[in-house]
Chains A and B, each alone.
Chain A
Amino acid sequence: MRLILLSLLILTGSAYVRAEGNGSDKPDSIPFYEMTLEQLMNVSVSVASDLPMTNRESPGIVSVITQEEIRKSGAHDLIQVLQSVPGFDFGFDVEGIVGVSVRGNWGHEGKVLMLWDGMEMNEDLYSTLQFGGHYPLGLIKRIEIIRGPGSAMYGANAEYAVINIITETSELNGIASSVSASTYENTLSGQETSFAIGKKIEDGRVNFSASIIDSKRSNQRYIDNFGSGYSMADYSGLNSTQFKLEYVKKGFSLTGLCDNYVVKERDGYEAIYLRSYENTFFTSKYVAKYDISLDRLKITPGLKFAYSKPWYLDSNEPDDNYVPFKTSLSKGTAFTNITYEPNAMWSVIAGAQYSKLQANDLLDSSYFSNGKKVFGMENANAYAQAIYKSKIANIIIGGRFNHNQYYGQKFVPRLGLTRIWDKFHVKALFSQAFRAPSVENINFNPDIKSESTTFVELEFGFKVTQHSYLTVNTFDITTKDAIVYYYNEFSEDDYRNETTTGSRGFEVEYKWKTKKWFFNMNYSYYTTAGHPVIDAYRVPGHSDILLAFPNHKIHATASYNFFGKWSVTPSLSYLSKRYSVITNENSEETLISYNPALYLNINISAENILAKGLSLGLACHNATDESAYYIQPYANNHATVPAGGREYTISLHYNLSFNK
C-alpha cells in the first residue's frame, strides 16, 4: 500500500513538473528587466497574488486586518477580531469593563492607544479603552496594529501598542450599510446596525456614519468570590451609539464624533451589587485641520476639542454598596503636523501640540485631591522622525519631547534599521515610551510618578512564495515605575508606582493567499524570564507567567472561495493555561487555574448575492461551546467573568457606489 502511495506521489509530482515546463513560454535567458514589449507579451503569467506585502519596511511590528478578513471570519465584535492578533488578549477590570493586554502585559490604562479615523478613543480620566459591544465592526474597512510602542509618534497612551482603525467613510462615495444579529443558545446576544453615506464633492467630500449596537457580555452565570451570583443573560447589557460627520474641501477638514457606551453591570469590584447599574462613557470630539501643500512639504495645523463623561455612574438607591461617580472633562488641543520629503533618500515627519484639560467633579460632596471641584492639566510636546533610505538599510531616528505641568520634561527616543533583500526583510528596533499619570491617577495618589517603557524588537520576514509570507519577531519589554491600580484597604481606588515589570518572547506569523484561498496562522509566546514580577501581577508558584494571560497562543484561519461568490472560513484559537487569584478575608490567596482551551469558529459567507454589493454571512462562534473567560489581570479579588458560549450570527452588508 505504501509503495502504491509513494508511486502515485512520484507520478503526480513528475506530471506536475512536466506541466509546468510545457506551460512556460518565458525565454529563460533574458531577465524581465531587459525584455522588450514583444518579449513580455510572450511570457505566461502565474496566478496573481493578493497577499498584502506592505509594511515590510515600516519601522514597527505591524499587523493589518482587512475588511475582507473581518467579514470572512464571521466576527461580530472587535474583541473577536483582535483576539486573532499575535500577543493580544483581553482581561476584566471592574464594573463590567473588559480591557486589552499586549504580550502578557495588562494594557488597559493608558498603555494601548486606539485611533478611530485618526481620533483618539481612550477616555481622558483613566486613559482606558472599553471593549465588547462598543465599536461598530460593520463600518471598519481596515485595522492597522502596531504591536509595539508608538509613544514617540503618537504620544502617551501608545506605550505598548497602537490600534489604528480606518472606517468605510474615509473614501466612501456611496452607501455602506450593515446589519448583524447574534444569539446564544438561551438568549439573544446582540445586534448591530451601521450605516454610512459619503459623497464626493468638488475638491472634497462629505460623509456621515451612524451605528447602534445592543448586545450582552455573556449568557453564563457570574459568581463572585463570596458565592453570590446572577445570570449575565439578564444583567450584562452593552449598548453603544455612535455618530460621525466629516466635511473635507480643498485641504480643509472638519470632523465630529459622538460616542455613547453604556454598560449594564452588577459585578462591581468584589461582591456583587443588589441590582444592576449603568456605567456610561459619553464622548464627543471635534477636529478641524487644514493641509497646506508646498511641493514636497505638507504642513497641517489644526484644533481639537473633546467633551466627555467617562465612567459615569448615577443612582439614588440607598441600600447598596454602590458609589456614584460623576466627572466631566473638557480638553482643547492645538497641533501642527509636518511631512517633508526633500528627496528620495529622506522623509521626515514632525509635529508639535499643546493641550489643556479640565476635569469637573459633578458630585455634590466630593473634591479632587487639590481640594477643588476642578482639576486642570496642561501638556505640550514635539516629535520628529526621519527615515534615511541608504543603500545598506533604511535608518529611522526619531523621538518625542514632552512637557507635563506636573511631571516636567521627558524625552523618548526611537531608533530603527530596516532592510529588504529580495525575498527577505529584517527590522531592528529600539524605542522608549512613557506615560504621565492620568487625572485619576493623580487624584488618588498625588505622589504618583510617570512610568517609562523600553522596547527592543527584531523581526525577520521571508516571502516563501508569491502567495505566502512568514515573519518571526522577538521582543523584550521593560516598564519601570509601572503605574498599577489597586483597591485599597478602605475599599477605594488607588494607584502606586511598582518597581519594574515586563515580558519577553517571540511571535510567528504565516500568511498564504491566492484568489480562492487564504490561510493565516500565528503563534505568540511570552515569558517573564529576565524581568521581575510585581506582586499585583504575580501567579503564586509560577515565575514565568502573569495573571490572566496565557504564555502560548495560536490562531489559525483558513478560507476557501467556491462558485465565485461563496466562502467557507473556519478558524481555531488555542490558549494555554491561565491563572487567577482569590483573596479571602484573612488575606489568604487561592490560586485558580484554567485549562488550555481550543475555540472553533465557522463562517459561511456569500458576496453579491441577490444584488450587486449585497453580502451575507452565517457564523457560529465558539462552536464547541468551550468555556471562555475574562480574568482580572491584577490581584484585586474580582471573580473571573465567564464569556459567552456557542453563538450564532447572521450578517448582511450592502454597499452601493454613486456614479458621480
Chain B
Amino acid sequence: MFNRIVIAARFKSLIVMIWLMATAFRIGYTDGNEYSIKAMFLLNFMKYVEWPAENNQGTFRIGVVGDSEISESLLQMIAQKQGDSRRIEVVKLGSGNQPYCQMVFVSHTENSRVDEWIKKLGAKGVLIVTEDLKLNTGSAAINLITVDNKIRFEINQSALRVSNLKVSSRLTELAINVR
C-alpha cells in the first residue's frame, strides 16, 4: 500500500515536472525576441540616417559594446539580407584600439559607463545607439526603449549635430521623444 502511494506521488511529480519544463521551453521560444527586433531597428536606421560622404563608403560597420545578444541577431539578419548590395560587418568593441564603425550599439550592461564609451568611440560620422538609457543623462544620438512591450526610440538632435549626421523627417516623426 505504501509503495503504491509513493509510486503514484512520483508519477504525478513526473507529470508536473514534464509540463513545467515544456512550458518553460515554450515561454522562452518566441521569434519576437527583443534583440532580433532591435537588430532590425539598427539596420533600418541605416536607411534613415545620412552619413558624411567620406564616412559612407565601402563596408558598413556596426560596433557592439558590452555583452549583448544583439551581435548574434545582427549576424543572422545580415545573413538573411545577403542580397543587399552593401557589405555590413558586426564588430565586438572592447578595450584597446577600435576599428572605425559607422554605428555603435552600447548594451544596457554598459549604461553606467555610457559617457566614457561615447567619449571614446563617438566621433564625426559615428551614430551612437543606446538602450534603456535616460537621454537627459546621456549624449547618445538614439536611445531604444521598451514601452508596453514594444520597442520605441528617442532622438537627441544635438548629439546628431555633433556627429555630423542628418536624419530623415520620417525618423523624427516615428520617435517618441525628440530633443
Which residues of chain B have C-beta atoms less than 8 A from A46's C-beta? 28, 30, 32-34
Also in contact, A464 and B25, with CB within 8 A (given A32-B40, A44-B150, A45-B151): yes
Complex-state Cα separation, A515 to B23, whole angstroms: 17
User: Is B113 in the interface zone, CB < 8 Å from A?
Assistant: yes
Complex-state Cα separation, A40 to B32, whole angstroms: 10
Which of A316-324, A431-439, A465-473 contacts its partner?
A: A465-473
A173 contacts B113, C-beta separation under 8 Å: yes
Also in contact, A35 and B40, with CB within 8 A (given A6-B15, A9-B15, A44-B150): yes
A45 contacts B48, C-beta separation under 8 Å: no
User: Is B165 in the interface zone, CB < 8 Å from A?
Assistant: no
Which residues of chain B have C-beta atoms less than 8 A from A422's C-beta? 76
B150 contacts A43, C-beta separation under 8 Å: yes
Complex-state Cα separation, A56 to B136, whole angstroms: 37
- Taking each of A48, A53, A422, A514, which has the highest tally of chain B beta carbons within 10 Å of its own beta carbon? A48
User: Is B31 in the interface zone, CB < 8 Å from A?
Assistant: yes
User: Is B10 in the interface zone, CB < 8 Å from A?
Assistant: no
Which of B89-97, B122-130, B155-163 contacts its partner?
A: B89-97
Complex-state Cα separation, A25 to B34, whole angstroms: 14
Q: Name the residue of chain A whose CB is nearest to the CB of B30.
A: A46
Interface members, chain A 115-151 (any B CB < 8 Å): none
Which residues of chain B have C-beta atoms less than 8 A from A33's C-beta? 40, 43, 77, 80-81
User: Is A332 in the interface zone, CB < 8 Å from B?
Assistant: no
Complex-state Cα separation, A20 to B149, whole angstroms: 13
A37 contacts B113, C-beta separation under 8 Å: no
User: Is A51 in the interface zone, CB < 8 Å from B?
Assistant: yes
User: Is A542 in the interface zone, CB < 8 Å from B?
Assistant: no
User: Is A392 in the interface zone, CB < 8 Å from B?
Assistant: no
Which residues of chain B have C-beta atoms less than 8 A from A466's C-beta? 28-30, 33
B32 contacts A44, C-beta separation under 8 Å: yes
User: Is B134 in the interface zone, CB < 8 Å from A?
Assistant: no
- Taking each of B12, B40, B80, B94, which has the highest tally of chain A beta carbons within 10 Å of its own beta carbon? B40
Chain B nearest CB from A607 CB (Å) reads: 13
Contact flags B2-39 to A (C-beta < 8 A → 1, else 0): 00000010001001100100011111111111111101
Which residues of chain B have C-beta atoms less than 8 A from A41's C-beta? 150-152, 174
* A-B contacts, CB under 8 A, total: 124
A43 contacts B37, C-beta separation under 8 Å: yes
Interface members, chain A 286-318 (any B CB < 8 Å): 291, 293, 296, 298
A344 contacts B69, C-beta separation under 8 Å: no
A657 contacts B25, C-beta separation under 8 Å: no
User: Is B177 in the interface zone, CB < 8 Å from A?
Assistant: no
Also in contact, A31 and B113, with CB within 8 A (given A45-B37, A468-B28): no
Which residues of chain B have C-beta atoms less than 8 A from A47's C-beta? 34
User: Is B56 in the interface zone, CB < 8 Å from A?
Assistant: no
User: Is A563 in the interface zone, CB < 8 Å from B?
Assistant: no
Q: Name the residue of chain A whose CB is nearest to the CB of B170.
A: A37
B28 contacts A37, C-beta separation under 8 Å: no
Complex-state Cα separation, A25 to B31, whole angstroms: 12
Residues of B within 8 A of A (CB-CB), count: 51
Which residues of chain A have C-beta atoms less than 8 A from B89's C-beta? 344
Majority DSSP secondary structure for residues of B touching A: helix
Chain B nearest CB from A491 CB (Å) reads: 51
Also in contact, A5 and B12, with CB within 8 A (given A344-B87, A657-B113): yes
Which residues of chain A have C-beta atoms less than 8 A from B174's C-beta? 37-38, 41
Which residues of chain B have C-beta atoms less than 8 A from A45's C-beta? 32-34, 37, 146, 149-151
User: Is A7 in the interface zone, CB < 8 Å from B?
Assistant: no
Complex-state Cα separation, A467 to B73, whole angstroms: 14
User: Is B112 in the interface zone, CB < 8 Å from A?
Assistant: yes
Chain A nearest CB from B129 CB (Å) reads: 13
Complex-state Cα separation, A298 to B95, whole angstroms: 14
Which residues of chain A have C-beta atoms less than 8 A from B26's C-beta? 16, 20
Q: Name the residue of chain B whose CB is nearest to the CB of A51.
A: B69
Q: Name the residue of chain B whose CB is nearest to the CB of A519.
A: B24
- Taking each of B28, B94, B99, which has the highest tally of chain A beta carbons within 10 Å of its own beta carbon? B28
Which residues of chain A have C-beta atoms less than 8 A from B16's C-beta? 5, 9
B31 contacts A32, C-beta separation under 8 Å: yes
User: Is A2 in the interface zone, CB < 8 Å from B?
Assistant: yes
Which residues of chain B have C-beta atoms less than 8 A from A251's C-beta? 97
User: Is A593 in the interface zone, CB < 8 Å from B?
Assistant: no
28 contacts between A and B (CB under 8 A): A2-B8, A5-B12, A5-B16, A6-B15, A9-B19, A13-B19, A20-B26, A20-B30, A23-B149, A24-B32, A31-B80, A32-B31, A33-B43, A35-B40, A35-B44, A41-B152, A41-B174, A44-B32, A45-B32, A46-B32, A52-B67, A54-B67, A170-B95, A200-B116, A291-B97, A344-B59, A464-B28, A466-B29
Q: Can you name 10 extra interface pairs (CB under 8 A) apart from A37-B41, A48-B35?
A: A6-B15, A23-B149, A37-B174, A42-B150, A54-B67, A171-B95, A344-B87, A422-B76, A467-B28, A512-B24
Partner-A contacts on B (CB < 8 A): 8, 12, 15-16, 19, 23-37, 39-41, 43-44, 48, 59, 67, 69, 72, 76-77, 80-81, 87, 89, 94-97, 99, 112-113, 116, 146, 149-152, 171, 174
Partner-B contacts on A (CB < 8 A): 2, 5-6, 9, 13, 16, 20, 23-26, 31-33, 35-38, 40-54, 170-171, 173, 200, 251, 291, 293, 296, 298, 344, 422, 464-468, 512, 514, 657
